Amino acid sequence: MNGDKRLASEDLVEELRSALDADSGWIPALAGSEGPAGVTTGAALDAVVARLWEFVEAPTTPERVARQLARAAEAADAALVTEGAARYGALGAAYAYVLQARQAANG
């Protein structure tokens, strides 16, 4: 068994916020000054979902990244209407898609 600590649901939301952070997030940096703005610290999950969709639709977001961000947005959106293990699973999927989007951006 792995001794690493699992991220809690709120930690996963924070990781999503961090990727979208207006000042330091990699997603707004990738989209550039012509793209959407990032989110503020402590943004609610529904704001994170909305902003993910804005980046998906932004012409400055590379297509290979936008595909992964769309999947992240769908998963995060599902987390808004679920509870418990289902919510945790949806948030975990959203985070995994954001990580895949970052790999797509770097590769």
What pTM was computed for the model? 0.92
Round to whole Å and give the CA distance between 78 and 49: 10
2 in any annotated domain? no
pLDDT of residue 50: 98
pLDDT of residue 4: 75
What pLDDT, in 10s, does the model give residues 45-57? 999 999 999 999 9
45 in any annotated domain? yes
What pLDDT, in 10s, does the model give residues 10-56? 999 999 999 999 999 999 999 999 999 999 999 999 999 999 999 99
List, in sequence order, every residue forming a beta bridge with 7; answer none if it has no partner. none
Q: Provide the residue range defining the domain that includes 53.
A: 9-106
4 in any annotated domain? no
23 in any annotated domain? yes
Q: How far is CA 71 from CA 33, 54, 75, in A?
A: 24, 13, 6
Domain count of the fold of the chain: 1
What pLDDT, in 10s, does the model give residues 49-91? 999 999 999 999 999 999 999 999 999 999 999 999 999 999 9
42 in any annotated domain? yes
79 in any annotated domain? yes
